[in-house]
Amino acid sequence: MIYFWVVMAYMGGLVGLGLYKSRSVKNQNDFMVAGRKVPTILLVGTLVSTWIGSGSIIAGAGLAYRRGISELWGSVGAWAAIVLVYFLAGRVRRIAQYTVPDILEKRYNKWARILGTVTIIIAYTTIVGYQFKGGGMVLDLVAGIPMKYGVIFTAVFIILYTSMAGMISIVTLDIFNGTIILIGILIAVPFLLHGVGGIQHVLTTLPADHFKVFGHENAVWAMGVAFPVFFLLLGESSMYQKFFSAKNEKAARTAVVGWIAGTIVIETMICFLSIIASSYFTHLKDSETVILYTARHGQEAGLPLFAGVMLLGAAVAIIVSTGNSFLLTPSTNITRDIYQRFINPNAGGKHLVWLQRFWVVILGIMAYLLLTQFKTVLEMAYTAYTMIGAGLTPAILAAFLWKRVTAAGGVASILGGMLGTLVAKFGFGVGWDYLIFPPIILSFVLLIVVSLLTPPSPEEKWKPFMEKQEAGPIR
């Protein structure tokens, strides 16, 4: 029962923090971007904690259990993207908006904003949905609560916590979450490796393919795994929203250095932990539960109780943190990019805060319902990754890197990437590991061809995205 009470104590602490922080929310600036006052250390914590989600500890871990180190190709895609993000972070903060659709309208037009918002809502509610499933897995393993009830409990908790204080509570919590995640994973790996009999046991027990760069696949498969994550991260709306929260451009760029370091360490250790566990727990019914199962039953393999508790705490921190951030982002998009932009431009203050809280609840319910459309977390994750990567990333990158891109090109790219993903997945049934190729090719082709066939954008459209001087005061 100690595992159950650890989970309950953690969640109870979050509720207390959320209630405390909710008192400091006065307006949309506080709720959406934490008053634009987030220092570097908190920004690092929230970037790491948001990125390492159920996609890592459930989908990625399950893939490592089945295929070995070739699972890291997904992580390599993320690491490469973060390196590129370093060079964009300062520019993003300088633009000083609230959402990615703000950027899309500023560089393109209102249709880009609308299509970008729709893309984010579809993809992010999908991502939130598999955080709910991850929480259900935790409660099933630690307390025997049936999965369907555990999912509902997790959904209610994440929805309520997110609606309390928005970005303020998220960035405050995530430095703690990031610490728990790092310590929990780093402690578990050496203890479990020693407990199962050392590296030699792992090497002799598992198939040789588990230790090959591409496993039993090839370079095309590796690209199919890496590219969705690469393009997702470059278009990741909650990341941009956190950069908008930074106190200045320097804080935004410096935080990226800590982010890539933390992400490389944690994702590599999750992969290693899953591989080590697979050499002992050889017949798991559901490979996606390997990290959670190891936390709960690792004592059989020599994992000390305290290490299992820490690992479980890390898993819960990962699920809650990612669920919070990915639920806040689409609710911000609806409030800011649809309601305030097109319906009530004069809205502000507490009215917008309460409206966004309402949409947090609605989107949380939608995320729960989306769970019925996918068989595994891995499939769910890569569909969402592709939706963002193909639907948003080409247009976002072009906004900052290509003066010649036009409004028509940007809109065509977003629409093509979004519809291409849906058609490839649900129309042609393309597998998760090759899903990225049709929509990303279509998106880039439309971006380039349509832009070159239409008149160039005026200078006032592209200049704010290209200039390198420090911005003036943010108002």
* Res 270: pLDDT: 94
Three-state secondary structure along the chain?
A: CHHHHHHHHHHHHHHHHHHHHHCCCCCHHHHHHHHHCECHHHHHHHHHHHHCCHHHHHHHHHHHHHHHHHHHHHHHHHHHHHHHHHHHHHHHHHHCCCCHHHHHHHHCCHHHHHHHHHHHHHHHHHHHHHHHHHHHHHHHHHHCCCHHHHHHHHHHHHHHHHHHHCHHHHHHHHHHHHHHHHHHHHHHHHHHHHHHCCHHHHHHHCCHHHHCCCCCCCHHHHHHHHHHHHHHHHCCHHHHHHHHHECCHHHHHHHHHHHHHHHHHHHHHHHHHHHHHHCCCCCCCCHHHHHHHHHHHHHHHCCCHHHHHHHHHHHHHHHHHHHHHHHHHHHHHHHHHHHHHHHCCCCCHHHHHHHHHHHHHHHHHHHHHHHHHCCCHHHHHHHHHHHHHHHCHHHHHHHHHCCCCCHHHHHHHHHHHHHHHHHHHHHCCCCCCCCCHHHHHHHHHHHHHHHHHCCCCCHHHHHHHHCCCCCCCCC
Residue 246 CA to its chain's centroid (Å): 18
Cα(50)–Cα(63) distance, rounded to whole angstroms? Answer: 20
* Res 24: pLDDT: 64
CATH code of the domain occupying 2-374: 1.20.1730.10
The reported pTM is 0.82
Question: What distances in angstroms separate CA 179 from CA 44, 54, 188, one per listed residue?
Answer: 11, 17, 14
Q: Which residues of 440-453 are buried (b: 16+ CB within 10 A; e: fewer)?
A: bebbbebbbebbee
Cα(92)–Cα(105) distance, rounded to whole angstroms? Answer: 14
Estimate the crossing angle of helix 110-143 against helix 290-297, to 10 degrees: 30
Cα(348)–Cα(344) distance, rounded to whole angstroms? Answer: 9
Question: Could you state, in order of their start, the residue ranges of all structural domains in the chain?
Answer: 2-374
* Res 365: pLDDT: 95
Cα(184)–Cα(173) distance, rounded to whole angstroms? Answer: 16
* Res 195: pLDDT: 92
Tens of pLDDT along the chain (475 residues) come to 688 888 888 888 877 776 776 666 665 555 555 555 667 777 888 788 778 877 888 889 999 999 999 999 999 999 999 888 888 777 776 665 567 888 899 999 999 999 999 999 999 899 899 889 989 988 898 888 899 999 999 999 999 888 875 656 666 666 777 778 788 889 999 999 999 999 999 999 999 999 999 988 999 999 999 999 999 888 887 777 677 777 777 877 888 888 899 999 999 999 999 999 999 999 898 898 999 999 989 899 888 998 888 888 888 877 887 888 889 888 988 988 899 888 988 877 778 888 988 999 999 999 999 887 777 888 888 898 899 999 999 999 999 899 999 999 999 999 999 999 999 999 999 988 899 999 999 999 999 999 999 999 999 888 888 866 444 433 3
* Res 471: pLDDT: 41
- Answer for the pair 328, 237: CB distance below 8 angstroms, yes or no: no
Half-sphere exposure of 152 (CA within 13 A, CB side): 5
Cα(178)–Cα(47) distance, rounded to whole angstroms? Answer: 9
- The torsion angles phi and psi of 246, rounded to 5 degrees, stand at -60, 150
Neighbours of 123 (CB within 10 A): 28
The letter for the amino acid at 177 is N
* Res 302: pLDDT: 86
- Answer for the pair 398, 410: CB distance below 8 angstroms, yes or no: yes
> Rg (Cα) of the chain, in Å, rounded?
21
Cα(432)–Cα(228) distance, rounded to whole angstroms? Answer: 10
* Res 161: pLDDT: 83
- The torsion angles phi and psi of 213, rounded to 5 degrees, stand at -55, -45
Cα(9)–Cα(263) distance, rounded to whole angstroms? Answer: 26
- Which residue reads 């959320």 in tokens? 18
Strand partners, 38: 246
Cα(102)–Cα(399) distance, rounded to whole angstroms? Answer: 12
* Res 190: pLDDT: 94
* Res 368: pLDDT: 93
